Amino acid sequence: MPIDTFDAIVVGAGQAGPAIAARCHREGLRTAVIERAEFGGTCVNDGCIPTKTLVASARAIHLARRGEEFGFATGRLRVDFARVMARKEAVVAQSREGVEQWMRGLDKVEVILGEARFVAPGRLRVGERELRAPRIFLNVGARAARPPLDGIDRVPTLDNHSILRLDTLPRHLVIIGGSYIGLEFAQVMRRFGAKVTVVEKSARLLPREDEDVAQAIREILEREGVRFELGAECIALAPRQSGIAVGARCERRPPRLVGSHVLLAVGRQPNTEGLNLGVAGIETDPRGYIRVDEQCRTSAEGVWAVGECNGRGAFTHTAWNDHEVVVANLFDQDPRRLSDRVEAYALYTDPPLGRVGLAEAKARESGRPLLRATLPMHRVGRAREAGETQGLMKAVVDAQTRQLLGASLLGYRCDEAVHGLLDLMSLKQPVDGLIRSMPIHPTVSELLPTLLQALQPVKD
Ligand SMILES: Cc1cc2nc3c(=O)[nH]c(=O)nc-3n(C[C@H](O)[C@H](O)[C@H](O)COP(=O)(O)OP(=O)(O)OC[C@H]3O[C@@H](n4cnc5c(N)ncnc54)[C@H](O)[C@@H]3O)c2cc1C
Ligand SMILES: NC(=O)c1ccc[n+]([C@@H]2O[C@H](COP(=O)([O-])OP(=O)(O)OC[C@H]3O[C@@H](n4cnc5c(N)ncnc54)[C@H](O)[C@@H]3O)[C@@H](O)[C@H]2O)c1
């Protein structure tokens, strides 16, 4: 078989790969982009974009239900799930087509459809073709983990891919996993009218967040009718005439919970097992994530791993930042590092949770003297005006350096407001400059100086 030689190969057209391919094109490198499924990967097709589009529909419906509070009457609301999903698909298709057209429009880039796997160091096979390049960028992403639950192969289950392709609303959705994916779907589906139960093996939701924050999110969702089974051990699934029985306790008696659908939302696993990485000398960790250094270089010369498959971030912005780090080092003589970035993300429940840096519990583990401040969202004028007073803001600061260590902002528009604190941390500035700033009124961000003015030493 003749081997086709490229200057660069990108495997996976997710969040980092296409941007790297575009930069290779600008550098005059003949580049192959190999994609086995849909352009744009998880974020565009199965993750951020479809879920946030559904969050927007769910919020519109929720606000319409609250019409009396705002001074209007709608009569009885009827949710048309098919139209909600069609709207979602239109937004997704626009992004997916945008990525594909972008790649196909670059004359130095060849798009190859198919699944790539290594056959030798620096050499990949896709279908009938064999390709090689001195630079290979792996951007293969991750997929929903399938836990070895008792009975899981005897019942149909959903994951983040298949739930986004339903054409009718589940009557009773049981969600296994009470973390980011589970909670976003829980609220959305509840607002569309489904009965929703979340089954979580930990004693509380969102094990990576602070307990007070997780509890506040739980209360917000419970007020809307989402039910929770926490500390659920021995989860077992079984077919029933009326749906799927979910046993959530180590009990002998028959399970009480019967759902029409079960969604698995218990974490992710990298798409690395089919790549034949061993033959190319590319090391993985015990969970299958590709080991990389601070520039996303793998253990094999000339091979980089970017995005979720390198285990250094599970977000679109971390994948995009990986691309920036790689091209800065390769083409711009700019020694950017993965460790330069400040961890930040949002959970898109409504209201959202904006997070930056360490949670308070993690900051306490560091043993350093801390300052802490909290502020309930009902103190925020903009939130009161909007009738959105649920949630709280919390910041943790190093008492000696006065640098912000982390913040959790749960409330109206907090996914945006948290960027003021992210900027402060990225610029490595103490909190005092922000405390003395003059924010715009009325905004949610105007309360950030007020929050920081309330810092007090953490005693215990
Ligand atoms: C429900 C859900 C909601 C989310 N919401 C958010 C959010 O709001 N904000 C956020 O920042 N993140 C969110 N995420 C996470 C985010 O979607 C991912 O972290 C991000 O998409 C990862 O991008 P990536 O480039 O690493 O991989 P992906 O986008 O998964 O791309 C990998 C691509 O590689 C292809 N591929 C894999 N193997 C091969 C192969 N052997 N040959 C050829 N092609 C291959 C795949 O088909 C895929 O297209 C969400 C995730 C989920 C599941
Ligand atoms: N807004 C966002 O940015 C966003 C939204 C959704 C997902 N994501 C990304 O996707 C990743 C995966 O999210 P996720 O929620 O699937 O996973 P996760 O790893 O965040 O949480 C998994 C949850 O499932 C629970 N769990 C694990 N095994 C279980 C079992 N057998 N039975 C019951 N519960 C079990 C865990 O205790 C945990 O609460 C996130 O880490 C995040 O990076 C991001």
Q: Is 441 a catalytic residue?
A: yes
Do residue 295 and residue 238 come from a single domain?
no
Do residue 136 and residue 40 come from a single domain?
yes
- From the CB of 314, is ligand 1 less than 6 Å away? yes
Q: Which domain holds residue 288?
A: 3-143+269-340
Do residue 8 and residue 138 come from a single domain?
yes
In a domain, 182, yes or no: yes
Residues of the chain with pLDDT under 70: 249, 251-254
| Domain termination site, one of 340, 364, 388 | 340
Q: Where are the alpha helices (DSSP H) in 259-380?
A: 316-331, 360-365
Query: CB under 8 Å to 347, separation ≥6 — which residues?
Result: 180, 183, 184, 206, 217, 353, 355
Q: What is the DSSP string of 47-102?
A: SHHHHHHHHHHHHHHHHHHTHHHHT----S----HHHHHHHHHHHHHHHHHHHHHH
- From the CB of 319, is ligand 1 less than 6 Å away? yes
Contact by Cβ (8 Å): 133, 7: yes
Distance CA 353, CA 346 (A): 5
**How many angstroms is it from 207 CA to the middle of ligand 2?**
9
- From the CB of 272, is ligand 1 less than 6 Å away? no
| Domain termination site, one of 206, 236, 266 | 266
Q: List the CATH number of the domain containing 175.
A: 3.50.50.60
Q: List the CATH number of the domain containing 389.
A: 3.30.390.30
In a domain, 459, yes or no: no
- From the CB of 244, is ligand 1 less than 6 Å away? no
Atom of ligand 1 nearest to the CA of 15: 25
CB atoms within 10 A of CB 368: 13
Do residue 126 and residue 28 come from a single domain?
yes
Atom of ligand 2 nearest to the CA of 265: 16
pTM flag (> 0.80): yes
Do residue 161 and residue 305 come from a single domain?
no
| Domain termination site, one of 296, 316, 340 | 340
Show binding-site residues for FAD: 52
In a domain, 102, yes or no: yes
Residue 449: phi, psi to the nearest 5?
-60, -40
Residue 17: phi, psi to the nearest 5?
-60, -50
In a domain, 351, yes or no: yes
Contact by Cβ (8 Å): 198, 183: yes
In a domain, 177, yes or no: yes
Do residue 324 and residue 387 come from a single domain?
no
What pLDDT score does 253 carry?
Answer: 67
What pLDDT score does 460 carry?
Answer: 74
What pLDDT score does 38 carry?
Answer: 98
**How many angstroms is it from 457 CA to the middle of ligand 1?**
41
Q: At what angle do helices 180-192 and 48-65 cross, to 10 degrees?
A: 40
Q: What is the DSSP string of 374-429?
A: EEEGGG-HHHHHTT----EEEEEEETTT-BEEEEEEESTTHHHHHHHHHHHHHTT-
Distance CA 132, CA 306 (A): 19
- From the CB of 247, is ligand 2 less than 6 Å away? no
In a domain, 460, yes or no: no
Please count the structural domains in the chain. Answer: 3
**How many angstroms is it from 252 CA to the middle of ligand 1?**
40
Do residue 233 and residue 297 come from a single domain?
no
